[in-house]
Amino acid sequence: MKPKEIFDVSIIGGGPAGLFSTFYSGCREMKVKLIEYHSVLGGKLNVYPEKLVWDVGGVVPTPAHQLVDHLVRQANTFQPEIVLDTKVTSISKDEVGIFTVHTQTGEEHYSKAVILAVGGGILQPTRLDIEGAERFEVTNLHYTVKSLAQFKGKRVLISGGGNSAIDWANELETIAAKVYLTYRKDLLKGHEAEIAKLQKSSVQCYLNTKIEKLIASPNHETIQQVVLSDENLTETHSIDVDEVIINHGFERERELVENSPIPIEMASPRTVAGNSKGETSVAGLFAAGDILEHDGKLRLIAGAFTDGATAVNHAKSYIEPDASNRGIVSTHNEMFKVKNKEIFRTMQSNK
Ligand X SMILES: Cc1cc2nc3c(=O)[nH]c(=O)nc-3n(C[C@H](O)[C@H](O)[C@H](O)COP(=O)(O)OP(=O)(O)OC[C@H]3O[C@@H](n4cnc5c(N)ncnc54)[C@H](O)[C@@H]3O)c2cc1C
What residues are designated binding site for FAD?
36, 44, 48, 88, 123, 290, 331
* DSSP calls for 101-135: EEETTS-EEEEEEEEE--TTSEEEEPPP-STTGGG
Q: State the sign of the Cα–Cα–Cα–Cα dihedral 219, 220, 223, 228.
A: positive
Displacement of CA 28 from its chain's centroid (Å): 25
CA-based R_g, the chain, Å: 23
- Other CB atoms closer than 10 Å to residue 6's CB: what's the count? 13
Q: How far is the CB of 256 from ligand X (least distance, A)?
A: 4
Smallest distance from the beta carbon of 95 to ligand X, in angstroms?
25
* Shortest distance, position 55 Cβ to ligand X, whole Å: 5
Looking at the chain, how many residues does it have?
351
Residues 273, 293: contact at Cβ < 8 Å? yes
For ligand X, give the closer residue by CB, 169 or 223.
169
Please enumerate, by residue number, every residue annotated as part of a binding site.
36, 44, 48, 88, 123, 290, 331
Output the smallest distance, CB 308 to ligand X, in A. 8
Contact 7, 109 (CB under 8 A): yes
- Residue 115 pairs in a beta bridge with 11, 286
Binding site for ligand X (CB under 6 A): 12-18, 35-38, 43-45, 47-48, 53, 55, 87-88, 117-122, 256, 289-290, 299-302, 304
Query: Who's near 347: CB < 8 A, 6+ residues apart?
Result: none
Please state the φ and ψ torsions of residue 99, each to the nearest 5 degrees.
Answer: -90, 140
CB closer to ligand X out of 136 and 168:
168
Please identify, using beta-carbon distances, which residue of 88 and 214 lies nearer to ligand X: 88
Q: How far is the CB of 30 from ligand X (least distance, A)?
A: 18
Q: Which is nearer to ligand X, 122 or 156 (CB)?
A: 122
DSSP secondary structure, 216-268, as one string? E-TTSSSEEEEEEE-TTSSSEEEEE-SEEEE---EEEE--HHHH-SS-PPEEE
d(CA 214, CA 66): 34
For the beta carbon of residue 213, count every other beta carbon within 10 angstroms.
Answer: 13
Q: How far apart are CA 98 and CA 8, in angstroms?
A: 10
Closer to ligand X by Cβ: residue 15 or 274: 15
CB of 141 to ligand X, least distance (A): 20
Nearer to ligand X, 13 or 136 (CB): 13
Output the smallest distance, CB 341 to ligand X, in A.
32
Neighbours of 337 (CB within 10 A): 8
Distances (CA, A) of 204 to 169, 177, 308: 10, 12, 44
| Rounded CA separation 240/71 (Å) | 40
Closest CA to 292 of 310, 306, 280, 305: 280
177 or 298: CB nearest ligand X:
298
Between 184 and 297, whose beta carbon lies closer to ligand X? 297
